[in-house]
Structure 1
Amino acid sequence: MIKLFDLSLKLSGFPISEAKNRLKEIQQIKEQDFEVYVTSLKSNIVNYHLRENDYYKKLAGNSSFSNWEDIPVMRKSDLQTPLANRLSNGFTEKNCYVNKTLGSSGHPFIFAKDKFCHALTWAEIVNRFGWFGLDFNSSLQARFYGIPLDTIGYQKERLKDRLSSRYRFPIFDLSNKKMEKFLEHFRSKKFQYINGYTSSIVLFAKYLKSKSIVLTDVCPSLNYCIVTSEMLYESDKKLMEEVFNIPVINEYGASELDLIAFTNSAGEFVVNSETLFVEILDDTNNAVPNGVMGKIVITSLYNKAHPLIRYEIGDSGMLSKQSTFKKPILEKLIGRTNDVAILENDKKVPGLTFYYITKSVIEDDGNVKEFVVEQISLTLFKIIYVAEKPLTELEELTIKKALDTYLKVPLNLEFSRVEVLDRANRGKLKQFVSRL
């Protein structure tokens, strides 16, 4: 059988065979030798960019470092300069992979990877999906993703879908009418797995539950659901596993980096230690022990085209105490920590706090399908939601009391019921937005 997915990468100049072989070599390194491998790669990539990248030399403010901890932490705002200024010697936008982040953190930017680094990214993804017997060349994927709306971008993504054995469900319109059309495709196609944005797949699960439909009754070939790009809540995971009747696997990644963590068959959220070095730091950029929450900071060990060294991704997390250097396990993950709500008296709380509290109050009866929270002023917050019927005064009051109790600051709330939520940035849902 012709491996169209692998062939498409190769024809685009990405050495996927070499990358797969390199990944195998890395995975064969013994546990006791793995720290030496990572330490060597860390030193190599820092010294390379200090030597070959004028942008990084200026950002780092030094020509060499004797201690890893002295290397400055990069932030997304540091990368909001023209890409040409950030590329290493010998690299241009024409001889490497160039893309842009979707800006869910509020800091969109264009990034680059050298072609071998990008091939390694795909080798890593292929390897993780392979843990569950899924093959990009042959396993039919039901893809819940956004898609470019311009003609060229749209056709390009559709071609990628055909080469990658997947059928795409565009998720800008998630009305019940569209959901019914989605369901018809599950009736007629032998999908082996679902893959896509968490919130969209959860909404599809809620639609099926409202119709008392179990998805494997409709599509018996379905084996797994892999969610990505947005937070996976335990209650949503339970709902999807119940309605789809298949295991739900969590993927955590960043387009500018790589796949960061992936659920294995034992239910562990395994961190990619092969091509990345992942640190958990406190607010003063010191490493915290395993079992302690902190901000997630990542180094791309192979990207020579563009430095991403001690890069603060904007999420927080905690490594399990059972982690090893070769097999770190991400025990907790909280997304988008740089979305901060600012209250009176200069009190600051993570924006997702509002989402968590509100979600816990309105989740039970299934009326509210999804919602987002917007901060309008220091004391005014707007909850925009999709529901079969409006929230009652009692329900609105219950949410307000829960927020007041937790935050200990009186707030004004506005509630707005809409038909569909705005899914900008190719379909990704931003769950908390500050308008300050």
Structure 2
Amino acid sequence: MLLFAAKIIGFTLKKQLFYKNILSQFLLNLFDLSLQINGFPIKKAEQILKGIQAQSEQAFETYVEKKKREIIDYHIQHNTFYNTFTHGVNVLDWNSIPIMTKRDLQKPLESRLSDAYNLKNVYINKTSGSSGDPFIFAKDFVCHALTWAVIKNRFGWYDLDFNCSKQARFYGIPLDKKGYYKERFKDFLSSRFRFSVFDLSDAAFEGYIQKFKSSSFDYLNGYTSSIVQFAKFLERKNMVLKSLCPTLKACVVTSEMLFDSDKLLLEKQFGIPVINEYGASELDLIAFQNLENDWQINSETLFVEILDDTNQVLPLGEEGRIVITSLYNQAHPFIRYDIGDIGILSEKSTTKKPILKKLIGRTNDLAVLPSGKKAAGLTFYYITKRIIEDDGLVKEFVIQQTHLDTFKIIYVSSKGLSEEKMQQICDEMTRYLEPNLTVLFERQDALERSKSGKLNQFSSQIKQPS
């Protein structure tokens, strides 16, 4: 546009090239520019991040302790909600700091903001509610810019740049007119094309194929379950996505569990590296698969702990609740915040480079059995998955616990499961868990997803004690 105007006005060739350069720079940095325009100082955040990462391992330990102390002191002095929450606690003893949960935060946002902040000078969003406890949260502008700085840094490990790398986005999209066009505009600014996850039919996937053939996508990014379904479609068609779209470099999956077998399928059918991402909208990017294939935790802006049921810190290698402190959010406290997930830190973790060895599931995904035994809900999903998908008939499925001894498997398939398959599943449930469990099967045309497009792989309707 600028170059066209320059020609019309009759500018010299030198001036035309000058305006062409301005336009090129504008287009090359559109994502950063959109953050800056909205008040998020991305350049400042990137400088802060660079300074953090330049520190030695020893200096980094000092940095983390300093930031922990600074953030708790700030909120005790400037946040009435948090001051009340920690009343009478010895703040010099980190292990005595109370654990926060989503339920603690389910009160008006205004009452949770620090003194210098209001609804007009913070970034406001809400969690998806997939944990069962949705709430609205806030970040100050520097904190939110740091979130994007970390994300950009991690994607950069794979030569992906939010300003110019074209993304094939597998997410939900609001169906109301205002929300729909708002997301489409954000997609434009972020150089991405959105494939809706609400239609995973073969007809929709045929359209996806044509789009990949005609577009120079650099990477795929989105919900695990929908991307896996696309890979299964490619497998049935005997296609490799990289051969259809040679510019592809990587696939980043997020928000839902990625099983080893699914990762192998994605790598085979896409012909590119598959990267596992773990994050929470109210916090930050929590972990991202690095080039050594480790799930590297974001230690620059977060402090991650693994705690037992009595809130004691567990040794590396032991399974427990993931509790996270946001080191930079001054607008809203997330200090020793129980995110609701269960995981294990690797024995090779260091303060500067902690490694998430395993993400097991959500605490509210636990199934309580008639004997009193507890099992992670994804155990049922995993047991069933090995049997139910081996012939390729079942596209996807979810499991619901409807009663203490009853589980319903809802699946999408071209035809019903055989009696043999159903008996195999029942036998495996008995072998891995306990006898006398009732398993019901229900075939549907499509699975119900949340408004965001996520698929809740396991859910329990049993009321569990708080």
Same fold? TM cut 0.5? yes
TM-score normalised to the size of structure 1? 0.98
SS in structure 2 of the partner of residue 323 of structure 1 = coil
Q: Distance in 1 between matches of 2:307 and 2:248?
A: 40
Give the residue type in structure 1 aligned to 2:325: T
The Cα shift of 1:55 comes to: 1.3
Structure 2 residue 424 is matched with structure 1 residue 383: no
SS in structure 2 of the partner of residue 338 of structure 1 = helix
Kept after mapping to 2: 8 A contact 1:337/1:351: no
Q: Distance in 1 between matches of 2:399 and 2:264?
A: 23
Structure 2 stretches of 5 or more lacking a match? 1-24
Kept after mapping to 1: 8 A contact 2:361/2:376: no
Report the more deviating stretch, 190-199 or 82-91: 82-91
Q: Distance in 2 between matches of 1:66 and 1:229?
A: 35
Structure 2 residue 308 is matched with structure 1 residue 282: yes
Q: Distance in 1 between matches of 2:436 and 2:97?
A: 42
Structure 1 stretches of 5 or more lacking a match? none
Cα RMSD (Å) of the superposition? Answer: 1.1
Q: Distance in 1 between matches of 2:108 and 2:232?
A: 42
Q: Deviations over 1:198-256 (max 9, x none)?
A: 11100100011011111111111111001111111110000000000111011110000
The Cα shift of 1:52 comes to: 1.1
Structure 2 residue 163 is matched with structure 1 residue 137: yes
Q: Distance in 2 between matches of 1:34 and 1:165?
A: 35
Residue in structure 2 matching 1:242, options 253, 257, 268:
268
Structure 2 residue 372 is matched with structure 1 residue 329: no
Q: Distance in 2 between matches of 1:108 and 1:264?
A: 30
Report the more deviating stretch, 362-371 or 222-231: 362-371
Residue in structure 2 matching 1:407, options 425, 433, 446:
433
Aligned to 2:92: 66
Q: Distance in 2 between matches of 1:59 and 1:349?
A: 32
Residue in structure 2 matching 1:294, options 303, 312, 320:
320
Q: Distance in 1 between matches of 2:274 and 2:427?
A: 34
Kept after mapping to 1: 8 A contact 2:90/2:97: no
Return the index of the structure with the highest Cα Rg.
2
Give the residue type in structure 1 aligned to 2:96: D
Aligned to 1:52: 78
Residue in structure 1 matching 2:331, options 276, 300, 305:
305
Q: Distance in 1 between matches of 2:256 and 2:59?
A: 34
> Identity of paired residues, percent?
59
Aligned to 2:283: 257
Matches within 5 A, 1:70-219: 70-219=96-245
Give the residue type in structure 1 aligned to 2:411: Y
Q: Distance in 2 between matches of 1:264 and 1:408?
A: 38
Q: Distance in 2 between matches of 1:406 and 1:58?
A: 46
Structure 2 residue 52 is matched with structure 1 residue 26: yes
Moved over 6 A (4+): none
Kept after mapping to 2: 8 A contact 1:260/1:271: yes
Kept after mapping to 1: 8 A contact 2:342/2:360: yes
Q: Distance in 2 between matches of 1:141 and 1:120?
A: 21
Q: Distance in 1 between matches of 2:357 and 2:249?
A: 25
Kept after mapping to 2: 8 A contact 1:143/1:196: yes
The Cα shift of 1:64 comes to: 4.2
Q: Distance in 1 between matches of 2:313 and 2:363?
A: 17
Q: Distance in 2 between matches of 1:310 and 1:63?
A: 14
Aligned to 2:5: none
The Cα shift of 1:363 comes to: 2.7
Q: Distance in 1 between matches of 2:291 and 2:391?
A: 32
Kept after mapping to 1: 8 A contact 2:388/2:421: yes
Report the more deviating stretch, 59-68 or 287-296: 59-68
Kept after mapping to 2: 8 A contact 1:103/1:425: no
TM-score normalised to the size of structure 2? 0.92
The Cα shift of 1:150 comes to: 1.5
Report the more deviating stretch, 332-341 or 139-148: 332-341
Kept after mapping to 2: 8 A contact 1:276/1:299: yes
Q: Deviations over 1:316-350 (max 9, x none)?
A: 11111111110111111112222222222433322
SS in structure 1 of the partner of residue 279 of structure 2 = strand
Q: Distance in 2 between matches of 1:17 and 1:64?
A: 37
Q: Distance in 1 between matches of 2:361 and 2:210?
A: 33
